[in-house]
Structure 1
């Protein structure tokens, strides 16, 4: 069981890395995924993500420690445990982030990671429905598509944003991110395009690529300071596989620092206390955890044109099913953000959008719960560049024990001010004439929640993750600009954990670009 490369984790990054490395027929690649194959039908129906938020098999179902600034609530951190990883259970929204995000990575010493450096990898990955241009690529593995159809509520939201003084933007990944519009999604013809679908399906026939599912990696094997393989569990049997060139961790912002620590790379005193022999002391492993906070506003609709209404009527429910089965259109093709936008808050800032709004034509008490039994829609707010930092830290030498996760949401004055301003911004948009005829009233937070103190308390009581954990093995702290783990040999990390700071938007597109670049760095070094 010897390979040139072993890739741990078949998520958004691992699928890309394994597929690109195996394009060279002279190397052998092993891809290990802790979860099962992506055969569950709800994975491939875009709106099926609602069935996967708390799936007992396809989801790691992580929860944070009691968050001290969120009324000591434990916040859900769903992560994909299936071929395709979180790209198989996410909300499908295709957003790259802002030019300034990546330029800031390069500015702090990570040469080759500025926006102009990464744009070719975004374009290489992309099969843009609208065709290729300066910003987009066509013919790549990852399908990126427009919404399958407009919706009156979404049109009204976009028009209301314009009336509130924000531009209309048909392409959040083009020349500028700012404005309101429809989101594009990683789908094609009404089917999810996960990293497994995009990258692994075309590669599965290669004789030099072996894919093992239900394969839980327990630790990295070292000889001295060199990574030489991994130990993993498959079919109830402990196995060891050797890597003659490199081990690549693509287990995500929770899984990768967990595996580094389990293998002796982390804070030496903490590891020794768990009877783990330190290989390399670096207290930054698992530190610097960042995530985006999401707080929802819900409005009762004056018209029965929401997905809530579709699901309350057997006749309309049947029409939704037929529309999807026969034409691959309708509500089942909708992502976690049908429309939305990127806006500047009405405070002194750096001149670029600092809040994202996801607008969806249904409502629930909590994402993944049953829809409300009345007409309503949702606009959630997500401040883009949080100051709050947390950590991922193992509490046991057993890989089956989930690590301690603390995001530390709303732990700084800036983050508190941003969430209040974001909620006020949504109210300003919803007060505009274009959308007023559709609103029967504000359900959440409700008109009784009026001032900044009340809005902040509402955010602490109801807010949660929008599922963008990152930065726990950051460039300049844990890995170098080639994504090699500092202090050891033969080991890289390629996933969201290497971000020096979380991007201003959804993270999946950036992770795929990181993996495209990471795979090329490996091939160049070989």
Structure 2
């Protein structure tokens, strides 16, 4: 049996950061188990390849939810990264940390050491911002964050002007002193290529002699001896194998897979586990519970002026942009789907922004099967304008379908199950129409395609939301951090309650979902989690 100081399950957004930091000084041996394979894939590295990675089973878990009552019993699609870099290798690359108050909320919930002032140094340590370092931004970290303003479409200026006409300010940096306002999104990219955590962290970690990275290694369960984690059982090439951890096992498998591995190891709600034929080793009723996610909705418009559709729909347009990308690493192929957006208050009574906006100068009314058609947009000029409430109150859960580690979890999002969330989705729809009605947008809008002018009342808007809205792929909190072990899974140092030598370090520990895209805070958790592990190791 192979033995290492640390065994990390998952080489994704947080796991890659943990791997790099734990192995940095060469004192400790680290083994990483990744269920997926290499990230050396054209559609991963080219930013617009996000559309191809969206339904690629070779690099994507491609989960589906159970029928969701709040979405008129529709099944939701949940892409999650199954590859080195995890979801950072297949996401839309938008770099958003969240509001300062999000983390102060975590601290106020009893999570000492997780306030904004505590986590800011880890955000900065992780980052090289191409705009330069300052009091809020990092300048020499492994994760490169790029401004793409020179390649964004001219229609972004109409979005900014319309938003200002509707009463919302321009903000040049959502990750600086204040998140509120509209502006350009920055993305995790460098030199025209995606900057996943595989590229940022694992590329340097794998050069070290004290690091072993095993791909196509599907973790089945954690080995426990006298309530201590001692290793991991995984399957590779059809054979079951075991790896031993002298110091700790660290779960960084994400908000879906980390709780699944805990449950398969006998850590979870005792009665639920026994009903599935699993002996309860540690009764931890919050495993898989408290799940939070963002729901978003797009409004689709036909445009009076050219959009990216005219550049990317015809074959000669695809060819031209492909040549441009090869020669310059620039143009629309080097960008994320979301070129602009912002964070605004949906109503004057809000103390802080409660809506995230997305603007995309491209449209697609018909999606080819198995593809998110960023390179196959509509033949007519069009654009998408969307929103998501930032702090939903609905809570979902995960449960095992069986004891088979290869069978996906049953995902119950429980979307729009609170009046608060329904009200905010209606508020968001009205907000989109308010901005669309501004003169700067009216001069370029030909007509609204979806939901269409007939959707006017609150009831009609909510029904449209239930029929069309979807996750924006930010599931968190399924191994929540908190002080009460009956309601949470890990403590403030990310140690699993009831088990020695076991931690969870990924987005599943978020006490609440952050106000925006969750990849940057997941990486921060990896950075901070590594420091907590090293501190505790040195003190033992």
Alignment TM-score, normalising by the size of structure 1? 0.98
Deviations 1:156-182 (A, max 9, x none): 101110111001001000111010100
Matching residue of 2:44 = 43
SS of residue paired to 1:396 = coil
Gaps of 5+ in 2: 483-487
- Deviation larger for 119-128 or 360-369: 360-369
**2:269 match:** 267
1:116: which partner in 2?
117
Distance 2:258 2:469 in 1: 26
1:211 aligned residue: 213
Displacement of 1:430 in angstroms is 1.1
What value does the CA root-mean-square deviation take over the aligned residues? 1.0
Distance 2:312 2:126 in 1: 36
Name 1:360's counterpart in structure 2.
Answer: 360
Residue 59 of structure 1 aligns to a residue in which SS? coil
Aligned-partner Cα distance in 2 for 1:261–1:336:
36
CA distance in 1, matches of 2:152, 2:241: 51
List per-residue Cα deviations over 1:71-128 (Å, max 9, x = no partner).
1000001100011000000000000000111001011110000000000000000001
Alignment partner, residue 451 of structure 2: 445
Q: Match of 1:356, SS?
A: strand
Q: Which residue of 2 aligns with 1:237?
A: 239
Q: Which residue number in structure 1 is paired with residue 494 of structure 2?
A: 483
Structure 2 residue matching 1:81: 3-state secondary structure: coil
Give the distance between the partners of 2:360 and 2:422, measured in 1 at CA: 24
**Partner residue, 1:506:** 517
Cα distance, 1:237 vs. partner? 1.1
Q: Does 1:433 align with 2:439?
A: yes
Aligned-partner Cα distance in 2 for 1:245–1:312: 54
Q: 2:414 matched to which residue of 1?
A: 408
Aligned to 1:164: 166
Greater Cα shift, 290-299 or 429-438: 429-438
What is the 5 A alignment of 1:175-194? 175-194=177-196
Aligned counterparts, 1:98-113, within 5 A: 98-113=99-114
Shift of 1:451: 1.2
Name the CA distance, whole Å, in 1 between partners of 2:214 and 2:441: 50
| Structure 1 residue 372 displacement after superposition | 2.1
For residues 417 and 189 of structure 1, the distance between their equivalents in structure 2, rounded to whole angstroms, comes to 42
1:66 aligned partner: 67
1:424 is aligned to 430
Residues 13, 522 of structure 2: 8 Å contact kept: yes
- Work out whether 1:328 is the aligned partner of 2:339: no
Query: Does the 8 Å CA contact 1:215/1:232 hold for their aligned counterparts?
Result: yes
Residue 389 of structure 1 pairs with residue 390 of structure 2:
no
Deviations 1:457-507 (A, max 9, x none): 011001111000000001111000000001111000000000000000000
Q: CA deviation at 1:337?
A: 1.6
Change (3 A) 1:460 1:346: same
Structure 1 unaligned residues grouped into runs of 5+:
none
Deviation at 1:392, TM superposition (A): 1.2
Instruction: List per-residue Cα deviations over 1:52-77 (Å, max 9, x = no partner).
Output: 11112111010111001101000001
**Secondary structure at the counterpart of residue 440 of structure 2:** coil
Alignment check: 8 A CA contact 2:11 2:33 kept: yes
In structure 1, the residue matched to 2:476 is: 470
The answer to whether the 8 Å contact 1:336/1:358 transfers is no
Separation in 2 of the partners of 1:455 and 1:224?
A: 55
Match of 2:529 in 1: 518
Q: What's the CA shift for 1:234? A: 1.1
The range that moved more, 40-49 or 307-316, is: 307-316
> 1:270 and 1:316 mapped to 2: Cα distance?
55
CA positional deviation for 1:414? 0.8
2:498 partner SS: coil
Quote the Cα distance in structure 1 between the aligned partners of 2:403 and 2:441.
Answer: 54
Report what 1:22 is aligned to: 23
* Counterpart pick for 1:200 among 202, 207, 230: 202
Q: How far apart in 1 are the matches of 2:440 and 2:280?
A: 61
Q: 1:443-463 CA deviation, whole Å, 9 max, x = no partner?
A: 111111111111110110011
The 2-side partners of 1:380 and 1:212 are apart by: 39
Distance 1:312 1:259 in 2: 43
Q: 2:227 aligns with which of 206, 221, 225?
A: 225
**361-370 or 13-22, which moves further after superposition?**
361-370
Q: Secondary structure at the match of 1:69?
A: helix
Larger displacement relative to structure 2 (273-282 or 128-137): 273-282
Q: Is the 8 A contact 2:152 2:339 kept in 1?
A: no
Tell me the secondary structure at the aligned position of residue 435 of structure 1.
helix
How many angstroms does 1:315 deviate by? Answer: 2.7
- Post-superposition Cα deviations, 1:296-321, rounded to whole Å, max 9, x if no partner, equal 111111112x2222222233222211
Measured after TM superposition, the shift of residue 346 of structure 1 is 1.7
Is this contact kept in 1: 2:48–2:333, CA < 8 A?
A: yes
Q: Is the 8 A contact 1:15 1:195 kept in 2?
A: yes
Contact 1:93/1:336, CA 8 A, preserved across alignment: no
Shift of 1:347: 5.1
TM-aligned CA deviation for residue 288 of structure 1: 0.4
The one of 232, 250, 253 aligned to 1:251 = 253
Paired with 2:25 and 2:397, the residues of 1 have a C-alpha distance of 37
Q: Where in structure 1 do 4 or more consecutive aligned residues deviate above 4 Å? A: none
- Partners of 1:452 and 1:245 lie apart in 2 by 56
